[in-house]
Amino acid sequence: MNPINSAQLSSPPPLLNPAMGPNQSSDTSFKDMLFDSIKQVNTMQLDADQAVEQMFTGGDVNPAEVLTAVQKADLAFRLTMQMRNKLMEVYQEVRDIRI
Amino acid sequence: MLTSFDISTSALVAQRTRLNAISSNIANMSTTRNERGEAEPYTPRYVTFQTDTGITSSGGGAGVRVGSVDYSSEPPKMKYEPGHPDADAQGYVQYPNVDMTTEFVDALEASRSYEANVGIIEVSKNLVENTLRIIA
């Protein structure tokens, strides 16, 4: 049995580096990251919509693929919603600070 | 994170194609003529799978896809039926070499494999849902 090529088994991406200050971070800002992830979630939902439409209009699609697309869109959206809830929590926390 | 869904789905699609070939073999097990109506027995089809590196995960995982649908190389079964319209000069009729037992075992295997992959999707789904609990 051949071992899996070590190049394929690339080391996992480093976790958030605690030593990295806010100014040393990579050039993508938080806003860009947020927009990118929202765009990705949106694309997934559009894909799922399209797949469902194709299935119901008698297109040549596999039901398994359609259901997977829907499930992925659902999970991605719920993850985004949780991020949004957390952000709102933080905002309200800050808003309630009395000066 | 969601690649395992794609990998399992590729297996679902592949197993379904295999089941289609098995259905075709069973349906045509006594077909003695081709689509043009000439006396030529049906040749059983077999589906081969190959690794699909188009769907990869960082852990070295890869999907599966249908490599080819090939014809069986087995010679047809000869059955002595002198009165049959497709019988040859010696009275033998060529029947497709489909073994029902083998086909059913293959069908069961494809079906179980499908189930197993749905199970893996379920596991992956639970994993992501549990991850959501960290933040929720």
What does the pLDDT read at residue A48? 92
Q: How far apart are CA B11 and CA B6, in angstroms?
A: 9
Q: Which of residues 50-79 of B touch A (CB under 8 A)?
A: 56, 58-60
- Tell me, what amino acid is at A42? N
- Supply the ipTM of this predicted assembly: 0.71
Residue B113 Cα, gap to closest chain A Cα (Å): 14
Q: What is the mean pLDDT of residues A72-96?
A: 91
Torsion of CA B39, B104, B50, A75, to 10 degrees: 130
What does the pLDDT read at residue B10? 93
Confidence of residue B78 (pLDDT cuts 50, 70, 90): very high
Mutate to test the interface with B, among A37, A61, A77, A79 (most CBs of B within 10 A): A79
Residue A89 Cα, gap to closest chain B Cα (Å): 11
Give yes or no for a contact between B110 and B47, defined as CB atoms under 8 angstroms apart: no
Q: Which phi and psi (to 5°) does residue B55 adopt? A: -110, 100
Residues of chain A with C-beta less than 8 angstroms from the C-beta of B65:
none
Residue B61 Cα, gap to closest chain A Cα (Å): 9
Torsion of CA A27, A77, B63, B104, to 10 degrees: 180
Q: Which member of B59, B125, B136 has the closest CB to residue A82?
A: B136
Residues of chain B with C-beta less than 8 angstroms from the C-beta of A71:
5, 121, 125
Q: What is the pLDDT of residues A23-69, one digit of tens each?
A: 555 677 888 888 888 999 999 999 999 999 998 998 888 888 899 99
Question: Between B4 and A18, where is the model more confident?
Answer: B4
A68·B6 Cβ contact <8 A: yes
Question: Taking the CA atoms of chain A, what radius of gyration do you get in angstroms?
Answer: 20
CA max distance for chain A = 67
DSSP state of B33: B
Three-state DSSP at B103 gives helix
Confidence of residue A14 (pLDDT cuts 50, 70, 90): low
Q: Going by DSSP bridges, is the β-strand pair B45-56/B92-95 parallel, antiparallel, or unpaired?
A: unpaired
Q: How far apart are CA A94 and CA B80, in angstroms?
A: 90
Q: How far apart are CA B30 and CA B71, in angstroms?
A: 16
CB pairs under 8 A between A and B: 42
What percent of chain B shows pLDDT beyond 90? 65
Q: Is the pLDDT of residue A13 over 60?
A: no
Of B14, B17, B16, B3, whose CA–CA distance to B54 is shortest? B3
What percent of chain B shows pLDDT beyond 70? 100
Q: How far apart are CA B81 and CA B70, in angstroms?
A: 29
Confidence of residue B37 (pLDDT cuts 50, 70, 90): confident
- The token pair at B68 is 């080819």
What does the pLDDT read at residue B38? 86
Q: How far apart are CA B13 and CA A64, in angstroms?
A: 7
Confidence of residue A12 (pLDDT cuts 50, 70, 90): low
Q: How far apart are CA A75 and CA A48, in angstroms?
A: 12
Q: Which phi and psi (to 5°) does residue B48 adopt? A: -110, 145
Confidence of residue B20 (pLDDT cuts 50, 70, 90): very high
B121 at interface of A, judged by CB pairs closer than 8 A: yes
